[in-house]
Amino acid sequence: MSPDLPARRLRLCPTCQRPFPPALVVTGSRRQRLVDILAGRPDGVLVRDLVDLVYADDPDGGPLTAQRSLNVIAHRANTQLRSQGYQIKSMWLGRGARYRLVRVAP
């Protein structure tokens, strides 16, 4: 490493000490919002909380089947995220399903 270039430090979550991912880009405003929210929360987000965050600007609060819509949004985002080395995964931790952004081999 060149002495002229500063070492790039990983940003770590203060709670769980997991590294935050780099800036990830996907098409579509809802998909990008979902990825941005998950990138800022290495421990994941409950699906019901994620619905409120993704559809916060919608006056009706999103579609009636908003949780199912998030499944579709996550699936379509995954097709673009895999080439960047990341994937949205659903998991169960305690009460309720949770989405997390995890690193995968590109």
Its domain, for residue 45, covers 29-103
Better-predicted residue by pLDDT, 37 or 4: 37
In degrees rounded to 5, what are phi and psi of residue 92?
A: -110, 120
Domain-located, residue 5:
no
* Count of structural domains, the chain: 1
Does the residue 15 lie in any domain? Answer: no
CATH of the domain at 71: 3.90.1150.220
Full-model pTM: 0.78
67-98, pLDDT tens digit by residue? 899 999 999 999 999 999 999 999 887 777 89
Look at residue 13 and tell me if it is in a domain.
Answer: no
- Does residue 32 contact residue 73 with C-beta atoms inside 8 Å? no
Classify residue 64: in a domain, yes or no.
yes
Q: Is 62 within the bounds of a domain?
A: yes
Residue 23 maps to a domain: no
